[in-house]
Structure 1
Amino acid sequence: MNKQKRYEIFSRWRDDNPHPTTELEYSSPFELLIAVILSAQATDVGVNKATRKLYPVANTPQAIYDLGVDGLKEYIKTIGLFNAKAENVIKTCKMLVELHDSVVPDTREALEALPGVGRKTANVVLNTAFGQPTMAVDTHIFRVSNRTKIAPGKNVNEVEQKLMRFIPKAFILDAHHWLILHGRYVCVARKPKCGACMIEDLCEFKDKTEI
């Protein structure tokens, strides 16, 4: 895929959705951080259902830490892997209180030092909460990047590096949201909806569908 095609793809996505954002519900960097930790191997819809009950009760590091692991589990038990996630969230809240004055750090190194925060979670927080040009490669972005040939790679790190290198600078800040939304609703895993795709003529996927 060449530069012109990539530029046109992202131009179309921008024209269709000029201000994309995450579908996770949050009102502060801390709420976003916790929601992203909870979203691992879970849907945004499922996480939002839980946080709608949790955040009115506790939405600061100290308040969630005060709930304790068992108290937090009551709010997130509908989410997959909730036992491990509860442990990580409580440990993260403790670290935020003790090491960061209850403020979510805006550096990759500090974020990745928090329990339950890997590179993808750190990238989401850096991009969405702090406006940094990062690329959080999840299953949707990995699939879209390989299927369309925007940035094919054998693993998430390779895809991330290629996306950061290939995506025109004008689009880099919002690119990961457009890619996720495209993968979630159009270029879906089992059978992509090529017939309803606004970039079908630019995509280099060989086995296009009629739908």
Structure 2
Amino acid sequence: MNAAKRLEIFTRLRDDNPHPVTELEYSSPFELLVAVTLSAQATDVGVNKATRKLFPVANTPEAILALGVDGLKSYIKTIGLYNSKAENIIKACRMLIELHGSEVPETREALEALPGVGRKTANVVLNTAFGQAVMAVDTHIFRVSNRTGIAPGKTVLDVEKKLMRFIPKEFLLDAHHWLILHGRYVCIARKPRCMSCLIEDLCDYRDKTDST
């Protein structure tokens, strides 16, 4: 994979979807933080079903803290790992109130200091809520980066660093969304839909399928 191919890949992805957005539903940086925290090992569809009931009732650190762990669990119990997620979100709400004036911080370090927030979650919030050109690598992006040859790497951090280095700057802000959507709907895990792929002729994957 060379620079010219990468440029063409992201040009096509941008032309096909000029203004990509996350499929998580949110209306504030705090709602996004909660939604992304809940999305670990869960689907965006499942998270959205839960937050559609939760956010009208509680969508601030104070309101969710007032629910308590058990109260929060009642809204998110359909989501995997909901017990630990509820505990982490309650702890994070307390820290946001005490340390950040109830506002979501805009630095990776401060975000990662919150319970339940790792590098990927922090990067999603920084990119989507605050418009920072960072790369949140999930399972879809890891797979697409390795399979296509855009940014092969053995670890998530390795792939993240290569994507930040290889993706042309003009595409960096939206690249996270293009890659995750591509992995979710086209370059799927078991049988990629190569015949429906916008970048099939540019991809380095050797075992291309006739699936559409």
Q: Given the two structures, how large is their TM-score scaled by the length of structure 2?
A: 0.99
Structure 1 CA distance for aligned equivalents of residues 167 and 131 of structure 2:
17
| Alignment-derived partner of residue 72 in structure 2 | 72
Matches within 5 A, 1:107-122: 107-122=107-122
Matches within 5 A, 1:123-202: 123-202=123-202
Name segments (4+ residues, structure 1) moved above 4 Å.
Answer: none
Give 1:21 shift: 1.1
* Cα RMSD, aligned residues only: 0.3
* One-letter identity of the residue aligned with 2:74: E
Structure 2 CA distance for aligned equivalents of residues 117 and 76 of structure 1:
17
**Gap runs ≥5 in structure 2:** none
Report the secondary structure of 2:34's partner residue: helix
Deviations 1:49-83 (A, max 9, x none): 00000000000000000000000000000000000
**Gap runs ≥5 in structure 1:** none
| Alignment-derived partner of residue 4 in structure 2 | 4
Structure 1 CA distance for aligned equivalents of residues 197 and 110 of structure 2:
39
Deviations 1:77-111 (A, max 9, x none): 00000000000000000000111110000001100
2:92 corresponds to 1:92: yes
Report the secondary structure of 1:173's partner residue: helix
Structure 2 CA distance for aligned equivalents of residues 75 and 44 of structure 1:
15
| Alignment-derived partner of residue 42 in structure 2 | 42
Report the secondary structure of 2:33's partner residue: helix
* One-letter identity of the residue aligned with 1:154: K
Number of aligned residue pairs: give it. Answer: 211
